[in-house]
Each structure stands twice: as structure tokens, then as C-alpha cells.
Structure 1
């Protein structure tokens, strides 16, 4: 199975076409104001974070803010519009930590603009679901062509909108 990044897992909850395109090196995030805004929120919401927590590379994942002392992953998001995708991205980080021998870690999913934080844990059922999700993504990205586009509410804010919907 190719390395599946947390970004691909996140995208799987949003759009399988986006998963395929991203996995095949077709990246449109640099053209998106929404992505730029998200980076701004990530970099400026907690300016002292980079000094207090470490960046951790785990196989296909890079955790930006990991509190090793308390085993807490901090994940910052600009809005909660894709909340389920965000939760599973954090659960994937927790699973990858387990795979690396770091058991019992938790995650904090933080929405600074909403002043909301959610604690994320990895349950037994989540591990089985993650295995299924990773298999689905692996099958998807090995397809010879991207899945057909599907009109969804999220399309208009997607960085791939022009790519998918320009005729």
C-alpha cells in the first residue's frame, strides 16, 4: 500500500476526485484563498506554539504541534465545515503514533475563530474503521483515471473547483 497522508484521509471525507488528483501530484491548493486563510490562522492563532511543542514526522504524516510530555497532538483548523474529516485526520495521527510505539496519545482539534476545542481519542472501533478507510483510499488512488466529478455543496470553495468544472 502506498503511503497515505493524513491530507488524503481528510480529502476522502470530502471528495474522492480530490483524493485521486492530489495523490497523483495535481495540486491546486496554492491557488486557493481558503487554503491561504487556513495557513494564516494556523500560523498566527497560537504564536508561542512553535516554541512549546515540537514538529513530529511519522511516516507519511507531519504533526505540526506535538506535546511529547503530555502526548497531545494539536491540530488547528480555520472552520468546522469539514468537522468529520478533521476528526479522522487527528485519529489518523493518533493511530500513527501508536504504530510508532507511542500509546495513549490524545488530540486537540482547535477552531480558534470559533473559540472551540474538541478532545479526540482513538477508540477500538476507530482502528478498524481506519484500516477500511486506508484500503478504500489505496484502491481509489490506484485507479487509472480520476473518479467522475460529483457536484457537492463544498465544490465552490474547493481549490480544485476551476480544474473540475471549467469546460
Structure 2
């Protein structure tokens, strides 16, 4: 499961086709304004925090401790709560990866526009769900073609829209 990343977990939870496209390094429409907005949000929000911690399969937005000597807190910054479940699974993936390396951590989803901080813990139930998702991603990525288009409410603003509806 080394090829799976937190980003792929997020994409899979939104749209398996989008996950397949990303896994096969097919770039989304870079002119999509939502991608630019997301980049700007990451740059401008939480300026006093240390940002962008990278490790295999992980690109963590913010990594901190709640207070000296306390447990590590992994934070994922999101534009809105619209994709709350995918964001939660992405954050659970990071917590799971850290747990595999002997690091216990808690998570927080940060939504600066709404001034929300949503705590996330890797429970046994979420861990089971995550392992099921990772297994499905492995099978999906091994396929020679992307899965068929399944129209959803997220398609309208998707940066991969032209790959499905051109």
C-alpha cells in the first residue's frame, strides 16, 4: 500500500474516477479557479503555523503539539465543509500512517472561512473503513481504464470535468 497517498484517499471518497485519473498522473485543469483558491487559502491561512510537512504518502498542512510535551496534532486545511467525509478520511490516513511508524497523534480539520476546528481521532471503526478504502484504491488503480462516469453533485465544479464530459 505504499502507492496510496492521503490525496488519493480524499479523491476516492469524492469520486473513484477522479482518484484513478490522479493516480495515473493525469493533471486536472490547472485553470480551474477552485484549485487557485485552494492554493491561496493554504498560503494565507494560519500564517504563524509551520506548514507543509511531507513524508512518504503524506503531505500534511500543519503539524503541531497542543502544548509542550503533549500529543502531536495533524491539521488539514480545507476551503469548506462540503467535503467533510473525504477530508476526514484523508486525515485518518495521515493518522494511520503515523501510527504505523509508532507515532500517536490526533487530527483537526481546519476550515478558516467558517472559523471551524473539527477534531478527528482514528477510531477502530474509522481504521477498518480506511483499510477497506485503501484496498479498493489498490484494485482501482491497477485497472487499465478509469471507471465509468457516475454523475454527482460534485461534478459541476470538478477540475477533471472535461475528462468525463468532453
- Could you state the TM-score of these two structures normalised by the residue count of structure 1? 0.91
Q: What residue in structure 1 maps to residue 112 of structure 2?
A: 112
State how far apart, in whole Å, the 2-side matches of 1:63 and 1:2 are. 17
State how far apart, in whole Å, the 2-side matches of 1:101 and 1:55 are. 21
Q: What residue in structure 1 maps to residue 95 of structure 2?
A: 94
User: Residues 8-47 of structure 1 correspond to what in structure 2 (within 5 A)?
Assistant: 8-28=8-28, 30-47=30-47
Call closer, same or farther: CA 1:24–1:75 in 2, change over 3 Å. Answer: same
Moved over 2 A (4+): 54-58
Q: What residue in structure 2 maps to residue 56 of structure 1?
A: 53
Shift in Å, 1:62: 1.7
The runs of 5 or more residues in structure 2 that have no matched partner are none
Shift in Å, 1:55: 4.0
The runs of 5 or more residues in structure 1 that have no matched partner are none
Which segment is superposed worse, 68-77 or 138-147?
A: 68-77
Q: CA RMSD in A?
A: 1.5
The answer to whether structure 1 residue 65 and structure 2 residue 54 are counterparts is no
State how far apart, in whole Å, the 2-side matches of 1:155 and 1:4 are. 23
Contact 2:73-2:107 within 8 A present in 1 as well: yes
- Could you state the TM-score of these two structures normalised by the residue count of structure 2? 0.91
User: Residues 118-133 of structure 1 correspond to what in structure 2 (within 5 A)?
Assistant: 118-133=118-133
Shift in Å, 1:39: 1.2
How many pairs align?
162
Contact 1:29-1:159 within 8 A present in 2 as well: yes
